[in-house]
Amino acid sequence: MMASATTSSTLLRDLVALTKPRLSSMVLLTTAGGLWLAGGRLGSSSAMAAMMGTTLAVAGAHTLNSYLERDLDRAMRRTRTRPLPAGRLDARLALWLGIALSTVSVPVLWFGVNPLTAALGLLAIVSYVLAYTPLKTRSPWALHVGALPGALPPLMGWTAARGTLDAAGLVLFGVLFVWQLPHFLAIALYRREDYAAAGMKTAPSVWGEGAARLHMAAYTALLLPLSVALVSLRVAGWWYGSAAIALGVGFLWSTL
């Protein structure tokens, strides 16, 4: 009886791990930020549907990514202990879980929120699974493709509240899109041997470390005017603007 409970607990933990819960919690935070900043009159049920649908979409995309990259993960030290490369889970179970989560997310967003937000959720799934995942072993531009679905959650929160795409929502998307790039590049520099062992094409391995560092500085510099643009668009006030400038300068200094 005890062994059965332990097995069930391990199985559940491994299934949750496929969805990359730490990243999914970030998605919850940024979606909620988009909802709050949009300031629309969205009912509590629609707000919950937006949060749930976005989280399901990202969890499904992560699970399918885990399924597709199980052999690559086996080649890297930091990922070889994950459920699929370690052989603790049947790959077919991961595949069907990813399909189920992704499939459920779209109607939750469509009927619970609006078609535009559902379309953005579908774009996040498709771009992450069918574009970003296979491109990682072919081109360092996978970095930018992968930042697209990562930056969609705040825009989805915005469109859930406003029901339309506008400049302010796109700037929110742009802030998170650009913010991810120096972080991804830093990981690529730090883990370059791991990525090389898995055959992944990263900026440091293809363009060189110097070019990767220049890209990091350029993207961090671009983040400053993007984040301050939210003030001119009346999404945020100058308390936010002052903090954004101070933190942006600190971020740029640390990158340099």
Instruction: Count the Cβ atoms, other than its own, within 10 Å of residue 141.
Output: 12
- What are the phi and psi torsion angles at 88 (to 5°)? -80, -20
Query: What's residue 105's pLDDT?
Result: 96
pTM: 0.90
pLDDT value of position 43: 82
pLDDT above 50 (res 122): yes
Scored b (16 or more CB within 10 A) or e, 180-208 reads: bbbebbeebbebbebbeebebbbbbbeee
CA atoms of 245 and 218, how far apart (whole Å): 16
pLDDT tens-digit map of 70-97: 988 888 888 888 888 888 889 999 999 9
Q: How far is CA 229 from the centre of its chain?
A: 22
Q: Round to whole Å and give the CA distance between 88 and 86.
A: 6
Q: What is the mean pLDDT of the chain?
A: 91
Instruction: Report, as an integer, the average pLDDT of 224-239.
Output: 93
Cα 9 to Cα 178: distance, rounded to the nearest angstrom: 38
